Structure 1
Amino acid sequence: MNSNSGNDKAFLNRLTSIVEANLGDENFGVSELAQEIGMSRSQLFFRVKSETGKSVSQFIREIRLSKALELLKQSKLTVSEVSYRVGFGSPAYFNKCFHDRFGFPPGEAKNQSDSESDSVQHLEKSNRTKVTIRQPSILIVVSVAIIVVIGSYLGYQTFSKNKSQNELSFAPKSIVVLPLKNLSNNPEIQYLAGGIMEDILTRLSYIDGLIVKSRISSEKIGSENLTAREVAKEMDVEYLLEGSIIPEGEKIRINVQLISAKEDKHVWANHYDKDLNEILPFITEVSSQITNQLKIILSSEEKEQIQKVYTENMEAYRLYLEGRFYYQLRTKKNFKKSIDLYNQALALDSNYCLAYAGLADSYITSTWYGYLPVKTGLPLSKTFALKALKIDRNLAEAHATLGAIATYFEFDWDTAEKELKMALKINPSYARAYKLYSEYMDVIGNKEMARQYIDKAKLLNPSYTNLYSMSFHSYMWNGELDKALEESEKIFDLQKKETNFLLRNFRIRLLQDSIPQAVDLFIKWWSAYNPDEDPAFIEEIYRENGKEGFLRFVAEDYKKEKGIRVELAEFYALIGETDSAIIILKDLASEKGKCASIKYDPFLQDLKKDPRFLALLRNMNMADD
Structure 2
Amino acid sequence: MTVNLPMEQKFIDRLTEVIEANFSDGGFGVSELAKEMGISHSSLHRKLKSIAQQSISQFIRETRLKRAMELLQLQAGTVSEIAYGVGFGSTTYFSKCFHDYYGYPPGEVRKRYVSEPDADEDPFPNENSENQIRSIAVLPFDNYTGDESQAFLVFGMHDALISELGQLGGIRVISKTSTLCYSGSGKTIREIASELNVDAIIEASVLGADDSIRVQLKLIKAFPEEQQIWAQTFEVDMSNILKLYSQVIKNIANEIQVKLSPEQQSQLADSREVNPESYKAYLRGKYHLYQLTPEGVKKGMEYLHEAVRIDPAEPFAYAGLALGYLDLAHGPLGPHD
Identity %, equivalent residues: 28
C-alpha deviation, 1:354, in angstroms:
2.1
1:237-386 maps to which residues of 2 (within 5 A)? 237-247=198-208, 251-262=212-223, 263-307=225-269, 309=271, 312-370=274-332
What are the Cα deviations for residues 479-518 of structure 1, in whole angstroms up to 9, with x where unaligned?
xxxxxxxxxxxxxxxxxxxx969xxxxxxxxxxxxxxxxx
Residue in 1 that maps onto 2:168: 207
2:153 pairs, out of 192, 201, 209, with 192
The 5 Å alignment of 1:56-95 reads: none
Following TM superposition, by how much is the alpha carbon of 1:311 offset from its aligned partner in structure 2, in angstroms? 5.0
In the TM superposition, what whole-angstrom CA distance separates every residue of 1:229-249 from its partner, at most 9, and x where no partner exists? Answer: 011012111111111113387
Gaps of 5+ in 2: 1-129
Find 1:181's aligned residue among 129, 132, 142.
142
AA partner of residue 364 (structure 1): L
What is the Cα deviation at residue 292 of structure 1? 0.8
Paired with 1:172 and 1:251, the residues of 2 have a C-alpha distance of 32
User: Secondary structure at the residue paired with 1:270?
Assistant: strand
Higher helix proportion, which one?
1
Q: Could you say what secondary structure the match of 1:302 adopts?
A: helix
Q: Per the alignment, do residues 308 and 213 of structure 1 end up closer, same or farther by CA in structure 2, a change over 3 Å counting?
A: farther
SS at match of 1:226: coil
Change (3 A) 1:249 1:332: closer
8 Å contact kept, 2:133–2:200: no
Query: Structure 2 vs 1, CA of residues 252 and 354 (structure 1 numbering), >3 Å: closer, same or farther?
Result: closer
Higher strand share: 2
Rg larger for = 1
Distance (Å, rounded) in 2 between the aligned partners of 1:351 and 1:230: 44
Please state whether the residue corresponding to 1:207 is helix, strand or coil: coil
Instruction: Give me the whole-angstrom Cα distance separating, in 1, the residues matched to 2:256 and 2:195.
Output: 21
Question: Given residue 320 of structure 2, which amino acid in structure 1 is its aligned partner?
Answer: G
Alpha-carbon distance, 1:369 to partner? 3.7
Instruction: Tell me which amino acid in the other structure corresponds to 1:327.
Output: L
> 2:220, 2:230 within 8 Å by CA — same for their partners in 1?
yes
Secondary structure of the corresponding residue to residue 221 of structure 1: coil
Cα offset, 1:299, TM superposition:
1.4
What per-residue deviation string (whole Å, max 9, x for no partner) do you get for residues 416-445 of structure 1?
xxxxxxxxxxxxxxxxxxxxxxxxxxxxxx
| One-letter identity of the residue aligned with 2:183 | G
| In structure 1, C-alpha distance between the alignment counterparts of 2:216 and 2:174, rounded to whole Å | 21
TM-score, scaled to structure 2: 0.55
Taking the TM superposition and a 5 Å limit, the aligned residue runs for 1:67-146 are: none
Contact 2:282 / 2:317 at 8 angstroms: preserved in 1? Answer: yes
Contact 1:311 1:352 in 2 (8 A): no
Superposition deviation, residue 252 in structure 1? 4.5
Given that 1:178 and 1:219 are in contact with CA atoms closer than 8 Å, whether structure 2 keeps it comes out as: yes
Whether the 8 Å contact between 1:228 and 1:264 is mirrored in structure 2 is yes
Are 1:216 and 2:172 counterparts? no
- Secondary structure in 2 matching 1:223: coil
Distance 1:340 1:307, change over 3 A: farther
Distance 1:308 1:219 in 2: 31
1:213 Cα deviation from its structure 2 partner: 0.9
Decide whether the 8 Å contact of 1:310 with 1:353 is kept in 2.
no
Q: How high is the TM-score relative to the length of structure 1?
A: 0.31
Give CA-to-partner distance per residue, 1:289-308, whole Å, 9 cap, x none: 11111110111233345455
Matches within 5 A, 1:530-569: none
